[in-house]
């Protein structure tokens, strides 16, 4: 491929030089001939005038001698065109010369000249005629001499051009080879890109158009590499989502099957006669009701999750005093806490903050977290709710990151570190049996996470196995100017 480019470049240089040489030859020959003819014309015209003077004298020399001395053919022509004297032929047998172009001029009183083939010898001749007393005196010389000079000039011209030709070809070959080598490395690079190796090393140090080409190829490779990486990431994410979807379907069917099987089993037992069994019938009905309630909770939680995920949940965003939202949630769990002997505490610093949120959603988030804390904290433990301002931004800044991080900390069972990363996944439970026993569906934290995300916030958890857990979530904070000052100080 590059060899072909090399030969094409060389061939084109060769053709250009050949064309130049042909032009030099043609025009050089023409110029040389014109120059020689002009010089010869001047020389012959001078001789013609001298011979005319001699012939007009009293004792003219014989025409043959004059012709020999001038090395020309000499012809004297009368005004009517008749040939009076000729150094080479008998005038009696010569035709009338009145119409010869050079004779026409001379008879009109001017010097005349013409180049043509002689009718008698077939040789190209230069004719010069000057006015003479008798009419016109004409000299003729063969142009063979001039033609020899022209050939000599052409030969020298061609030799000179040929000598210039060789270094030109050598220089052209040098540059053609350099260009074809540079092209070869760019072609090799493009080949690597075509094979999908976008990390291949681009040819370096290129300048000019080839430099632009290789840097553009390099840019293209970088863009393609980024696009491929993006696609790979998206593909991995799609695979992950597909796995999540499949797991979810399996989990949902599993979660539904267990209570449904139980309801079906006990209903059949009752219908098969256990209804009459006064000892067990109420217990069986209780189990059926318990499972029906579980199904209702499960479907309600699934509905909540899908509403949030499909963004069809209508959030009524408004400003609320954070303390009110926390107290409402705490009030709902207070009776159970008292019954279980668990201390409910509110950390200092919660007052004065106003959040921008949907009160129902915040209530559900807090209820789920408090419900968990309550379930996994033994008697005598405590649950503490707190709030801290995060990333308040610079004073006077037009856009400030106004967030409050709310925490629900308990002194309960804690969660092993390896379980923490998956805790917010749907149906993920550390101890499945214990969770079911406590009436859990494993959807509580997933709902918390999605509600918080819908508010533009984040969730996280810190836990020490055996010592307790703290769940955190952030909400957008509305900062009044006075509070803003104190926020900035803390
Ligand atoms: N405060 C906590 N202390 C210890 N473990 C917890 C705590 N909160 C949650 N967990 C663990 O995380 C799991 C997931 O919690 P999640 O709230 O999603 O489900 P659940 O409580 O089992 O059921 P649900 O909340 O739907 O009734 C729980 O099963 C439990 O193992
Ligand atoms: Mg829960």
Q: Is the separation of the CB atoms in 315 and 300 below 8 Å?
A: no
Separation of alpha carbons 165 and 20, rounded Å: 10
Residue 386 maps to a domain: yes
* 488 has pLDDT over 50: no
Confidence (pLDDT) at 222: 93
- Of 43, 341, 25, 61, which is closest to residue 162 (Cα–Cα)? 25
Residue 214 maps to a domain: yes
Least confident among 72-81, 209-218, 360-369, 387-396: 387-396
* 459 has pLDDT over 70: yes
Segments forming the whole domain that contains residue 129: 2-148
Task: Mark whether 259 and 328 lie in a shared domain.
Answer: no
**431 pocket-lining for ligand 1 (C-beta < 6 Å):** yes
pLDDT-based confidence at 392, cuts 50/70/90? low
Least confident among 139-153, 403-417, 431-445, 448-462: 431-445
Residue nearest to atom 17 of ligand 1 (CA): 444
Q: How far is the CA of 375 from the centre of ligand 1 (A)?
A: 8
Instruction: Find the ligand nearest to 408 CA.
Output: 1
Task: Mark whether 247 and 360 lie in a shared domain.
Answer: no
**What are the start-end ranges of the E strands in 177-311?**
none
Q: Which of 130, 148, 166 is the last residue of a domain?
A: 148
Atom of ligand 1 nearest to the CA of 436: 22
Q: With left for phi above 0 and alpha for psi between -120 and 50, is residue 380 left, alpha or beta?
A: left
* 236 has pLDDT over 90: yes
Q: How far is the CA of 445 from the centre of ligand 1 (A)?
A: 7
395-428 per-position pLDDT tens digit: 443 345 678 999 999 999 899 999 999 999 998 8
Confidence (pLDDT) at 81: 94
Separation of alpha carbons 389 and 385, rounded Å: 14
pLDDT-based confidence at 430, cuts 50/70/90? confident
Residue 180 maps to a domain: no
Q: Average pLDDT for residues 349-356, to the nearest whole number?
A: 82
Burial of 477 (0-12, 13-18, 19+ CB in 10 A): buried
Separation of alpha carbons 230 and 278, rounded Å: 67
Per the prediction, the chain carries an average pLDDT of 88
Instruction: Residue 25: give its domain's CATH number.
Output: 3.30.450.20
Write out the two tokens for 230: 């993006």
Confidence (pLDDT) at 1: 61
Burial of 209 (0-12, 13-18, 19+ CB in 10 A): exposed
Q: How far is the CA of 283 from the centre of ligand 2 (A)?
A: 26
Task: Mark whether 308 and 319 lie in a shared domain.
Answer: no
Confidence (pLDDT) at 320: 92
Q: Average pLDDT for residues 70-85, to the nearest whole number?
A: 94
Q: Is the separation of the CB atoms in 129 and 136 below 8 Å?
A: yes
Residue 197 maps to a domain: no
Task: Mark whether 348 and 212 lie in a shared domain.
Answer: no
The tally of domains found in the chain comes to: 3
| Overall pTM surpassing 0.85 (yes/no) | no
Confidence (pLDDT) at 487: 44
Write out the two tokens for 320: 């609320």
Decide which of 440 and 424 is more confident.
424
DSSP β-ladder status, 459-464 and 468-478: antiparallel
Task: Mark whether 379 and 454 lie in a shared domain.
Answer: yes
Separation of alpha carbons 288 and 98, rounded Å: 146
pLDDT-based confidence at 286, cuts 50/70/90? very high
Decide which of 299 and 353 is more confident.
299
Confidence (pLDDT) at 400: 52
Helix (H) or strand (E) holding 291: helix 281-309
* 164 has pLDDT over 70: yes
187-226 per-position pLDDT tens digit: 999 999 999 898 898 888 778 888 888 889 999 999 999 9
Write out the two tokens for 303: 């509905």
CA distances from 74 to 83, 129, 143 (A): 11, 10, 16
- For a mutational test of ligand 1's pocket, the pick from 410, 429, 438, 459, i.e. the residue with the most ligand atoms closer than 8 A to its C-beta, is 429
Residue 122 maps to a domain: yes
pLDDT-based confidence at 347, cuts 50/70/90? confident
- For a mutational test of ligand 1's pocket, the pick from 251, 365, 372, 433, i.e. the residue with the most ligand atoms closer than 8 A to its C-beta, is 372
Separation of alpha carbons 314 and 358, rounded Å: 9
Q: Average pLDDT for residues 330-335, to the nearest whole number?
A: 94
Write out the two tokens for 456: 């533009």
Instruction: Indicate if the alpha-carbon torsion angle 204, 207, 212, 213 is positive or negative.
Output: negative
Task: Mark whether 468 and 326 lie in a shared domain.
Answer: yes
Residue 160 maps to a domain: no
Task: Mark whether 122 and 7 lie in a shared domain.
Answer: yes
The owner of tokens 């033994």 is 378
Atom of ligand 1 nearest to the CA of 432: 29
Task: Mark whether 370 and 458 lie in a shared domain.
Answer: yes
Residue 14 maps to a domain: yes
- Of 372, 357, 361, 458, which is closest to residue 409 (Cα–Cα)? 372
Confidence (pLDDT) at 396: 47
Confidence (pLDDT) at 395: 47
Q: What's the Rg (C-alpha) of the chain?
A: 58
Confidence (pLDDT) at 489: 42
Instruction: Residue 228: give its domain's CATH number.
Output: 1.10.287.130
Q: Average pLDDT for residues 150-168, to the nearest whole number?
A: 87
Q: Is the separation of the CB atoms in 472 and 403 below 8 Å?
A: no
Instruction: Find the ligand nearest to 442 CA.
Output: 1
Task: Mark whether 283 and 399 lie in a shared domain.
Answer: no
* 131 has pLDDT over 90: yes
Least confident among 64-78, 232-246, 264-278, 309-323: 309-323
Q: Average pLDDT for residues 450-460, to the nearest whole number?
A: 94
Count the residues in the chain: 490
Task: Mark whether 294 and 262 lie in a shared domain.
Answer: yes
Helix (H) or strand (E) holding 390: strand 382-390
Residue 261 maps to a domain: yes
The owner of tokens 């996470």 is 449
Separation of alpha carbons 232 and 215, rounded Å: 25
Task: Mark whether 302 and 337 lie in a shared domain.
Answer: no
Separation of alpha carbons 56 and 53, rounded Å: 5
Confidence (pLDDT) at 394: 41
Instruction: Find the ligand nearest to 371 CA.
Output: 2
- Share above pLDDT 70 across residues of the chain, in percent, rounded to a whole number: 95
Separation of alpha carbons 472 and 462, rounded Å: 8
* 436 has pLDDT over 90: no
Confidence (pLDDT) at 484: 47
Could you write out the DSSP letters of every residue in 374-385?
A: HHHS-TT-EEEE
pLDDT-based confidence at 72, cuts 50/70/90? very high
Q: Which of 128, 148, 168 is the last residue of a domain?
A: 148
Instruction: Residue 458: give its domain's CATH number.
Output: 3.30.565.10
Q: Which of 292, 313, 334 is the last residue of a domain?
A: 313
**435 pocket-lining for ligand 1 (C-beta < 6 Å):** yes
Task: Mark whether 371 and 469 lie in a shared domain.
Answer: yes
């Amino acid at each position: 491929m590059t060899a072909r480019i090399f030969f094409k470049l060389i061939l084109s240089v060769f053709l250009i030089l050949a064309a130049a040489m042909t032009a030099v030859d043609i025009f050089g020959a023409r110029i040389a001939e014109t120059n020689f003819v002009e010089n010869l014309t001047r020389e012959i015209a001078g001789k013609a005038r001298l011979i005319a003077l001699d012939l007009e004298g009293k004792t003219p020399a014989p025409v043959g001698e004059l012709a020999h001395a001038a090395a020309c053919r000499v012809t004297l022509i009368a005004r009517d065109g008749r040939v009076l004297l000729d150094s080479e032929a008998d005038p009696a047998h010569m035709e009338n010369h009145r119409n010869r172009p050079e004779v026409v001029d001379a008879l009109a009183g001017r010097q005349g000249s013409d180049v043509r083939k002689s009718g008698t010898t077939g040789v190209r001749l230069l004719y010069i005629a000057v006015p003479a007393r008798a009419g016109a005196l004409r000299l003729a010389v063969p142009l063979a001499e001039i033609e020899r000079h022209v050939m000599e000039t052409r030969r020298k011209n061609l030799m000179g051009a040929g000598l210039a030709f060789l270094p030109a070809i050598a220089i052209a070959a040098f540059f053609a080879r350099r260009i074809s080598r540079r092209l070869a490395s760019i072609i090799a690079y493009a080949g690597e890109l075509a094979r999908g190796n976008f990390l291949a090393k681009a040819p370096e140090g290129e300048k000019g158009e080839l430099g632009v080409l290789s840097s553009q190829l390099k840019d293209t490779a970088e863009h393609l590499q980024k696009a491929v990486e993006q696609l790979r990431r998206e593909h991995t994410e799609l695979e992950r989502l597909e796995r999540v979807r499949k797991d979810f379907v399996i989990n949902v069917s599993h979660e539904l099957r267990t209570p449904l099987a139980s309801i079906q089993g006990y209903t059949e037992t009752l219908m098969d006669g256990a209804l009459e069994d006064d000892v067990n019938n109420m217990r069986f009905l209780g189990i059926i009701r318990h499972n029906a309630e579980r199904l209702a909770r499960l479907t309600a939680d699934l509905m909540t999750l899908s509403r949030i995920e499909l963004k069809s949940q209508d959030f009524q965003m408004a400003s609320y005093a954070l303390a009110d939202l926390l107290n409402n949630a705490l009030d709902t769990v207070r009776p159970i806490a008292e019954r279980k002997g668990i201390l409910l505490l509110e950390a200092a610093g919660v007052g004065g903050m106003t959040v921008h949120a949907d009160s129902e959603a915040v209530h559900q988030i807090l209820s789920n977290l408090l419900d968990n804390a309550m379930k996994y904290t033994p008697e005598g433990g405590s649950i503490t709710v707190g709030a801290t301002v995060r990333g308040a931004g610079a004073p006077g800044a037009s856009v400030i990151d106004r967030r409050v991080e709310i925490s629900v900390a308990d002194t309960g069972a804690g969660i092993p570190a390896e379980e923490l990363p998956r805790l917010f996944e749907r149906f993920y439970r550390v101890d499945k049996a214990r969770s079911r026993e406590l009436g859990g569906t494993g959807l509580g934290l997933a709902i918390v996470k999605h509600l918080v995300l819908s508010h533009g916030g984040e969730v996280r958890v810190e836990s020490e196995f055996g010592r307790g857990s703290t769940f955190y979530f952030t909400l957008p904070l509305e900062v009044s100017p006075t509070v803003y000052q104190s926020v900035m100080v803390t």
